Structure 1
Amino acid sequence: MQEALNFVKQLFKRMMDDDVFGLSAQLSYFFLLSLFPFMLFLVTLLGFLPLPEVDIMNFIEDYAPAETATLINENVNMIVTERNGGLLSIGLIGTLWSASNGINAIMRAFNAAYNVEENRSFVISRLIAIVLTIAMLIVIIIAFLLPIFGKAIGVYLFSFFGLSEGFLQTWNTLRWVISSVVFFLVLLALYILAPNKKVNIKNVAIGAIFATICWQLVSLLFSYYVNTIGNYSAMYGSLGGVIVLMIWFYISGIIIITGGEINALLKHRGITTSANHKVT
């Protein structure tokens, strides 16, 4: 118990020293900038697929606070009904540029956590940021489409392979688990590639598990709070949806960066322990 308390104290001290909350604010800003280009890209892509508009709305409302969902849904109708291939390119370019700036903020945060300088060139750093951004986009698209198309995919597999009826029930649960696993994998890649320090999967798995679980729990709790208790529209008026979105991104940034801090602290404690054993 005392060991766990000491770990939490050290973690909080590192978070304050590395200005995790300030970096999370930067991250939320870049997340917000990249949201609408990404929404433009994703919803335009969905417009080419046989997906009912109401399914998109329901999915957004399930995961986002009501005011945020309203803000996003206001633009979905037009984009889904107008299939414009040019919007795909515009949305993708805008998303890559804005989101890669956010990844750069994460890279700076992780370098601070590991107490290393960023000596990679601008080109290499930007390429890493863009690759991670593309990976995150692919993962988000998969995580977005699987819950919506999951039932149809299960029915197709059921009929094609002649599986038992129990498969459909298992699949309906499994498709949500797959989304969580996919989110975990992209965090794993982020924690390995973003810092300017050599780490392996074993070094970053704990932080990725922490961030995956906490992000899902906090998102659900925050959505419940905003929908049942909080009234941001009364305070901020028409900007209520944007404010809720910023807070949501800010909390998400804290969780992601804290996962990196946990990994860095565990690695530091492991090195310290090994050194002490050698001395003794």
Structure 2
Amino acid sequence: MLFRQVKSIAQAFYELFADSGFAMAGAVAYSFVLSFFPFCIFLGTLAAYFGGEALAKQAIEQLFELAPAPVAEAIAPEVMAVMSHSRFDLLTVGALIALFYATSAIESLLAALNVAYRVKEHRSYLWCLLESSVFVVVTAIGMLVLAWGVVVGPQVASRLKPAWLLWLADTGWVALFARYGIVIAAIGVQLVAYHLWLAAGRRRLGDVWPGVLLSIVLWLVAAQLFASWLTITDYSRFYAGLTRIMSALVFFQVSAIIVILGAELNRGIAEMKRRLAALEELEAAVPGPPSAASYRADA
């Protein structure tokens, strides 16, 4: 059983290379960088409409919690500079344009997942665009809910002040586990949604959870290794003033590779299950050799 699982993961790596997954991951990462700033503008617009500028800033800070510290430090100043010069008027032409450009990363990921699952896209462009917009809006709302919990939670705790809550607040590992718990939950929900509803075709939760679990584990490991790598590597020798944005682009490409690898694993497991089911049906349809009792009965 363990050998079969290891073989499935190894086969997923091979299929990732065969399907040009690394090149498609680069396209997804590039689209993500292009759409990240419009998404932050739309997120700030949505946050300002519901909770004012404070909630907007908290939502952006919560968004950077999902990335390693070097990547967040590379992008956060630029995002804050853009946010400081943006007007947060919901449902204006600027907000709708920001929403449209924010969907480019989702559309690139859709194409990559369709290739990984070996499915053809039969939905219309307008439907895919609407679906991508829904993903952007739902992601923004989810970030606002997390930000609202960060802002309102301490205020509620300060008023109630139960002993166990104060003890948890003074415990450092609780904050660490809470941070990783939020990151894992947010990434897990997004990955499940991508595999179930973004890619073409129909899949069940049982069909996608192996790839989602693999992506989460690999992403956590990659985030730690990438943060450590940046501390010992000087990218300025290669990219000069573009060092920060290029380091973020590399991390986004690694993240895209991990997501596509999860889809390749899911497809490989599904194909293996279909082959085993077909083999069992074939064995059931073909009669076996006659037994000794049947020979005696014929005699």
Shorter-normalised TM-score: what interval? 0.7 to 0.9
Q: 1:62 to 1:107 in 2, by over 3 A?
A: closer
1:41-80 superposed Cα distances (whole Å, 9 cap, x missing partner)? 4456479344797997798489445376244314525734
Matched with 2:295 is: none
Structure 1 or 2, whichever has the larger Rg, is: 2
Matched with 2:150 is: 150
**Of 186, 190, 193, the match for 2:194:** 190
Paired AA for residue 14 in structure 1? E
| Identity percentage of aligned residues | 22
**Of 116, 119, 123, the match for 2:122:** 119
Note the residue ranges of structure 2 that are not aligned, 5 or more in a row: 284-299
Q: 1:195 to 1:62 in 2, by over 3 A?
A: closer
Q: Secondary structure at the match of 2:203?
A: coil
RMSD: 3.5
2:113 and 2:199 in contact (8 A); partners too = yes
**Of 207, 224, 239, the match for 2:228:** 224
Q: How does 1:1-280 map to 2 (within 5 A)?
A: 1-42=2-43, 45=47, 48-50=52-54, 60=64, 63-66=67-70, 69-76=73-80, 79-80=83-84, 84-86=87-89, 92-142=95-145, 145=147, 150=150, 153-157=153-157, 159-160=159-160, 164-165=164-165, 166=167, 168=169, 172=175, 173-174=177-178, 176-226=180-230, 228-280=231-283
Q: Distance in 1 between matches of 2:211 and 2:102?
A: 21
1:154-180 superposed Cα distances (whole Å, 9 cap, x missing partner)? 451463495743564597444641342
Q: Distance in 2 between matches of 1:245 and 1:84?
A: 26
Q: 1:115 to 1:84 in 2, by over 3 A?
A: closer
Shift of 1:198: 0.9
1:24 and 1:253 in contact (8 A); partners too = yes
Q: Distance in 1 between matches of 2:15 and 2:206?
A: 21
2:24 and 2:112 in contact (8 A); partners too = yes
Note the residue ranges of structure 1 that are not aligned, 5 or more in a row: none
Q: Distance in 2 between matches of 1:194 and 1:55?
A: 24
Shift of 1:229: 1.0
Q: 1:93 to 1:215 in 2, by over 3 A?
A: farther
2:21 and 2:112 in contact (8 A); partners too = yes
Shift of 1:23: 1.0
1:65 and 1:224 in contact (8 A); partners too = no
Q: Distance in 2 between matches of 1:65 and 1:243?
A: 15
2:27 and 2:108 in contact (8 A); partners too = yes
TM-score under structure 1 length normalisation: 0.81
Q: Distance in 2 between matches of 1:36 and 1:258?
A: 26
